[in-house]
Amino acid sequence: MNLALVYSVLVVAIVFEVLGTSAMQAAQHFSRPGPTALMVVCYAVAFFFLSWSLRYVPVGIAYAIWSGLGIVLISLVGFFVFGQKLDAAAIAGLALIVAGVIVLNLFSKSTFH
């Protein structure tokens, strides 16, 4: 399987997970039907694409990429869209997560190459 395609599918899964989490924030405890429905659809799409990527990427590696990049992206959405503040410790922690995903993908023999 093509490496670019596998990682593209995983990125699609991550994007839909971030959209679903953003919709969850907007749903305000499931009291708003539109964002709630969007959340359900986005999570369904995200898990579909994540499960597809697991055909080619070990579950631990896929989940590390999924969760790491998802945390960083949803933190950025929280900052820019929802006005949530990030202090220096949060930014440092996010940088370490990104570094971990980079190390995992560049140097681990467990990833799909």
1: closest CA among 52, 59, 58, 56? Answer: 56
Res 112: pLDDT: 60
Helix extents (H) in the chain: 3-27, 33-53, 59-80, 88-107
pLDDT along the chain (113 residues), means of 10: 91 98 96 98 98 92 92 95 95 94 85 60
* DSSP 8-class letter at 3: H
